[in-house]
Chains A and B, each alone.
Chain A
Amino acid sequence: MKLHHSILIKSALLLVVLSCALWHCKDDDNAIVERNYQLVWEDDFSGPAGQAPDAAKWAYDIGIGPGNDGWGNQELQYYTDRPENAALDGLGNLAITARSESYGGRGFTSARLNTKGIFTQAYGRFEARIKMPWGPGIWPAFWMLGANIDQTPWPQCGEIDIMEYRGQQPNVIHGSVHGPGYSGGAAITKSFDLVNDRFDVDFHVFAVEWGEDYIDYYVDDTLYQRLRPESIPGEWVFDQPFFIILNVAVGGNFVGFPTPQTPFPQTMLVDYVKIYKEAI
């Protein structure tokens, strides 16, 4: 196995520059396109509280990453498959819970679930309804990696971040892609700022609609970013199946350290994950 996954380093300054640049590029290309999708895969996380998520749909990443480097990001948590870190909440949600506890040599535990080798798909609508955790240093994400990652190392395999969130910016989420020449701090990113509201007080739907020559980023019904091959400064690698990842990281390059004021445990609630394919 080789390098497993992403470097999401980016400076705040760069983020701001990119955000502003993208914010102003309102053109007709951003118009919402109605597409005819059919549901092909879903998990609505129904089941009794404490039950593990469906093993037929989800696998776990365990530990601190293959490089013992916090999954390439200096993340502080140890990922487990215990129900303390990932379980159904009995109310129809998957609860991924980050805890402050000593475990496996780390000061925090959490969980990272994926569909690698279970379900992969190229193109379609990938959506999840999520209520965020909160607090500085909390970094939840709903994202995808190219299914060929074991043969074609990151960033060549591609990464589509449908939603990333910093606990210290509870009203902002980020949508990004990483690929060859535009990974880590150079990823293509746009932020979405919820006005007079925050992502940790209610559920919101985060989605991408992905086709051969576009990736549209949605929060609820708002399209806030459309990426096309021509808007990418490198090779468009988003032409093969990807698998899905849900996780809550603690600390790391993207988010910074949790502070003494960060309340633990922190739980990301996922109401559902639904994958559609565009009907012929």
Chain B
Amino acid sequence: MKNIKLEFSALALLALAVIITVLACKRDLEDLEPATFPTTPEVFIDGFSEGLNYGAFGGSKVTAFDVDTEVKYRGAASMKFAVPDAGDPQGAYAGGAYFTSVGRDLSGYDAITFWAKASKSASIDVVGFGNDFGESKFLTTLRDVKVNTNWQKYIIPIPDPSKLKQEKGMFFYSEGPENELGYTFWIDELKFEKLGTIAHPRPVILDGQDQVLSPETGQQLTIGGLKVTFNMPSGIDQSVDAAPSYFAFSSSNPSVASVSDKGVVTVLDAGDAVITAKLGGADAAGSLTLTSTGQAVGPTSPAPPPTVNADSVISLFSNVYNNVNVDTWNTRWQFSTAEDFDVKIAGDDVKRYRNLNFVGIEFASQPIDATAMTHFHLDIWTPDPTDLPKAFKVLLVDFGANGVFGGNDDSSHELSFTRPTLVSNQWVSLDIPLSNFTGLVNRAHLAQLVLSGDLPNVYVDNVYFYNAGTVAPSGPTVAAPTPTNNPADVISVFSDAYTNIPGTDFNPNWGQATQVTQVPVAGNNTLRYSGLNYQGTQFGSNLDVSAMTHLHLDVWTNNSTALNVYLISPGPVETPVALTVPTSGWSSINIPLSQFSPVALNNLIQFKFDGNGDVYLDNLYFYKTGSSPTEPATAAPTPSYNAADVISVFSDTYTNITGTDLNPNWGQATQVTQAPVSGNNTLIYTGLNYQGIQLGSNQNLSGYTYLHLDFWSATSTSLKVFLISPGPAETPYTLTVPTSGWTSIDIPLTEFTPVVDLSNVFQFKFEGNGKIYLDNILFRK
């Protein structure tokens, strides 16, 4: 039974404490320093041979080895090894090495031999020599040594005796419990011998396989599977694991790939090379044929660092967060050709996949509960072409309540990403709402992530789940400014201020990661793009905006660092215009349509935005200028009524009644300003919802015939004026908007009767929308 897997280089370190105590009680080295190295063959006959030390391996039961004078094969004593039971608190296995402080010349021998028996039939995991608790340059290991209750002779051949001119590692062993039960084995008459009856060394590298790889420049590959098979005196073949230093490695093309004495291949350039080896002059079976693809293409800058608060994140892989346990980043499932590499990009750890057709990433031993999470994030970078229909796919698998694969409670869903989400040679951040994984019924036992698609080379970073709710950036608190363009000059896609074209799809599935919502901001419907990578808008029907001159949009973002808007005509023909982000509050942008050349303005089909961050948009519309000024170019016409026949509320021409409050606080949203238009003071309502005027004193309009006013609006589509008498008693009168220039109107006061008491009028009110210019508000006879 193999219960213990040992890595001797690691064990050597772990065992240092044990060795030091052993070293402390030996004689000074100076006494033992010989001019030539002894050829002593004995290791343990009836006791430790000259200069022999023992060190137990780290983690082993250090008392496992003892000298036994009762049970022995021959002579006075044997070596006894008490293998502990599983779970022995003093150590999980028996293991240690016998070494000398002065090397021995063993080149005249061809094997180390010993007699062994055990308290029961068992298979000793490893025995060998060459472990000197240091470099262990000529480590030689015989595995799975069958022992039983009879003394039997065992032989460990020396792969190439000529190498052992100064060997310190005399013997080592390691054995764990058999079926969790400890037992005892004995070794006696342990010595090096020249048997002469060990023949036909057949060295192999790579377990004798002829491997073919396509590495790239800079890659290092360690030649493993180093063994030598000998024909033993029994005529039976027996193999030992042999350290790389026994072998002479060579490269057929050292300018493409070099190979070190330790069998480490370093790929230096594009081209072909074959790595082979010899042992003691004999060709080793097995080879490594390399077709180097040269320098790898990869990102030069790290992925954008995540900004999500760590409290809201379950991270699988990121330098920014503490990562949860991931069993493997490459399950090497059947038919998967993916190779994974841990690489650093400017100091940032990145997973690199090569020859990716699909790769399983598994965290089944500690499944992830992402029920509190809203999104899955990963950053990818590929040098491969990303033209359609090339796709990158993300599959999440939940193992269900039973926490294991199968059992009819598993669920999964795969999402596919294509251009334009996929972009070659730049980091692409995927922020995928978990709700998009519609087939992933549960996410309390997420156990696998599978990446696949048509991109053989993918770098992956910042793989994590997060809850966007706790990290939603604060959005605008005020509505976008109400547009002022004359509706007659507007083709609106998204605005509360205009009639929008019908049938627009604001979230067509183009494979984007962006999350689209429409949210009210101060009562004004606003389009929000969260986690923008790109986002399309599909018009209900093709738009002819050739008569328009500008695209208008209002943008608000506090975290976007890149934002482009595209117009798209069939082809697709598309042209981006970069917008300045982040914004400081709402940014109203008017882009001359000529900047979108060569897009066919008479046949638009789509909008698109790309960039990053969270972006609020409003008042997406096309308009034309020139014919439709956004403000009056001239003053309102100067009235010419006899002043004696006029009660003036707001006019430069007459004396206005005093004490009038032009902006009483009735809870309205309307902004009220006064501004000169061509030198004439004008009352301006911006973003009108309603607006009152509190007269300085109650007015008896008996004997007056008309309410006169001049108004101008390019943007309003609704405007009413009310007279109000206490009660309040009020009646509206509808005004025609938008206007074409100033409209002067004389409204018969009878329009407001009988509801309004004309003898006691004390307030005006306007209701409607848009931006209104008012002047010469007066009553006349």
Binding site for B on A (CB under 8 A): 134-136, 138, 166-171, 195-198, 200-201, 259, 261-263
**CB-CB < 8 A to B197: which residues of A?**
170-171, 196-198
Indicate if the CB atoms of A201 and B236 lie closer than 8 Å: no
A196 pairs with B194, CB closer than 8 A: yes
Q: Which residues of B contact A196 (CB under 8 A)?
A: 194-197
Contacts of A167 in B (CB 8 A): 235
**Pair B199/A169 contact, Cβ less than 8 Å:** no
Q: Which of B195, B196, B237 contacts A261 (CB 8 A)?
A: B237
Given contacts A259-B236, A263-B237, contact A195 B196 (CB under 8 A): yes
Q: Which of B98-147 contact A (CB under 8 A)?
A: none
B75 sits at the interface (CB 8 A): no
Interface of A is mostly: loop
Chain B: CB-nearest residue to A195: B196
Contact A134 to B194, CB < 8 A, known contacts A170-B199, A198-B199, A200-B199: no
CB distance from A26 to the nearest CB of B (A): 24
Determine if B234 and A168 form an interchain contact, defined as CB atoms under 8 angstroms apart. Answer: yes
Name the distance in Å between B721's Cβ and chain A's nearest Cβ: 106
Cβ of B199: which chain A residues have Cβ within 8 Å of it?
Answer: 134, 170, 198, 200-201
Contact B196–A136 (Cβ < 8 Å): no
Do B200 and A134 touch across chains, with their CB atoms under 8 A apart? Answer: yes
Contact pick for B233, options A138, A170, A259, A263, CB 8 Å: A170
How many Å lie between the Cα of A263 and that of B236 in the bound state?
A: 9
The answer to whether B231 has its CB under 8 Å from any CB of chain A is: yes
Quick one: which of A166, A261, A262 has the most chain B CB within 10 A?
A: A261
**From A201, which residue of chain B is reached at the shortest CB distance?**
B199
Interface residues of B in 560-610 (CB under 8 A from A): none
Q: What mask results when residues 225 to 269 of chain B are scored 1 for a CB within 8 Å of chain A, else 0?
A: 000000101111100000000000000000000000000000000
Bound Cα distance A135, B200 (Å): 11
Known contacts A195-B196, A201-B200, then 17 further A-B pairs from the complex at CB < 8 Å, ordered by chain A residue: A134-B200, A135-B231, A135-B235, A136-B234, A168-B234, A168-B235, A168-B236, A169-B234, A169-B235, A170-B231, A196-B196, A197-B197, A198-B199, A259-B236, A261-B236, A263-B202, A263-B237
* Chain A residues with CB below 8 A from B237, complex form: 135, 261-263
Closest to A202 in B: B199
B196 and A134 contact, CB distance less than 8 A = no
Q: Is the CB of A166 within 8 A of B196?
A: no
| Closest A residue to B231 using CB positions | A134
A114 to B93, CA, bound (A): 60
Chain A residues with CB below 8 A from B200, complex form: 134, 200-201
Which single residue of chain A is at the shortest CB-CB distance from B193? A196
B residues near A197, Cβ cutoff 8 Å: 196-197
- Residues in B neighbouring A169, C-beta threshold 8 A: 234-235
**By CB atoms of chain A within 10 A, which of B231, B233, B236, B237 has the most?**
B231
Nearest CB of chain A from residue B179's CB, rounded to whole Å: 26
Contacts of B194 in A (CB 8 A): 196
Chosen A-B contacts, 7 in total, with CB atoms closer than 8 Å, are: A138-B235, A169-B234, A170-B199, A196-B195, A196-B196, A198-B233, A263-B231
Listed residue (A136, A168, A170, A201) with the most chain B CB atoms within 10 angstroms of its CB: A170
> Would you call A136 and B195 a contact (CB within 8 A)?
no
Residues of B near A138 (CB, < 8 A) are 235
A contact residues around B236 at 8 Å (CB): 136, 168, 259, 261
Nearest A residue to B200 via CB reads: A134
Quick one: closest B residue to A171, CB to CB?
B197
- Closest-by-CB residue of A relative to B196 is A196
Who on chain A is nearest to B238 by CB? A261
Contacts of B196 in A (CB 8 A): 171, 195-198
| 6 nearest A-B pairs in the assembled complex, by CB-CB distance | A196-B196, A168-B235, A261-B237, A197-B196, A167-B235, A201-B199
A135 proximity list for chain B (CB < 8 A): 231, 235, 237
Output the least CB separation between A258 and chain B (Å).
Answer: 10
Q: In the docked arrangement, what's the CA distance between A195 and B193, Å?
A: 13
Q: Give min CB distance, B109 to chain A, whole Å.
A: 11
Chain B residue nearest in CB terms to A193: B197
For residue A171, which residues in chain B have a CB less than 8 angstroms away from its CB?
Answer: 196-197, 233
Minimum CB distance partner of A166 in chain B: B235
How far, in whole Å, are A195 and B233 apart by their CA atoms in the complex? 11
Q: In chain B, residues 58-79, which have Cβ atoms closer than 8 Å to a Cβ of chain A?
A: none
B202: A residues at CB distance < 8 A: 263
How many Å lie between the Cα of A166 and that of B194 in the bound state? 22
A219 to chain B, nearest CB (A): 15
Q: Which of chain B's residues has its CB closest to A169's CB? A: B235
B202-219 contacts to A, CB under 8 A, are 202
Q: Report the separation of the CA atoms of residues A168 and B195 in the bound assembly, to the nearest whole angstrom.
A: 16
A136 CA / B238 CA spacing, docked (Å): 13
A263 to B194, CA, bound (A): 24
CA distance A169 to B236 in the complex (A): 9
Q: Is the Cβ of A170 less than 8 Å from the Cβ of B195? A: no
The interface centre, meaning the residue of A166, A198, A259, A263 with most chain B CB atoms within 10 A of its CB, is A198
Closest approach, in angstroms, between the C-beta of B113 and any C-beta of chain A?
A: 13
Chain B's closest residue to A136 (CB) is: B235
Shortest C-beta distance, B229 to chain A (Å), equals 9
For residue B280, give the distance in angstroms from its CB to the closest CB of chain A: 14
A200 to B234 Cα, complex, angstroms: 13
Contacts of A200 in B (CB 8 A): 199-200, 231
CA A138 – CA B196 in complex, angstroms? 20
Please give, as numbers and ranges, the residues of chain B lying within 8 Å of A201 by CB-CB distance. Answer: 199-200
CB distance from A195 to the nearest CB of B (A): 7
Q: Which residue of A lies closest to B194 (CB)?
A: A196
A166 partner residues in chain B, CB cutoff 8 A:
235
Chain B, 688-733, CB within 8 A of any chain A CB: none
A259 to B197, CA, bound (A): 19
A166 to B231, CA, bound (A): 13
Instruction: Name the residue in B197, B234, B236 with the highest tally of chain A Cβ atoms < 10 Å from its Cβ.
Output: B197
Nearest CB of A to B560, in Å: 69
Nearest-CB residue, chain A, relative to B202: A263
Whole-angstrom CA separation of A195 from B195 in the bound complex: 9
A-contact bits for B164-205, CB 8 A (1 contact / 0 none): 000000000000000000000000000000111101101000
Complex CA gap A201/B235 in Å reads: 12
Residues of B within 8 A of A263 (CB): 202, 231, 237
Q: Which residue of B lies closest to A135 (CB)?
A: B235
CA distance A121 to B320 in the complex (A): 93
**Closest approach, in angstroms, between the C-beta of A72 and any C-beta of chain B?**
24
Once bound together, how far apart are the Cα atoms of A261 and B195, in whole Å? Answer: 21
Least CB distance, B149 to chain A, in whole angstroms = 23
A198 → B minimal CB distance (Å): 5
CA distance A134 to B236 in the complex (A): 9
A138 to chain B, nearest CB (A): 8
Across the interface, name the chain B residue whose C-beta is closest to A165.
B235
For A261, the chain B residues whose CB sits under 8 A away are 236-237
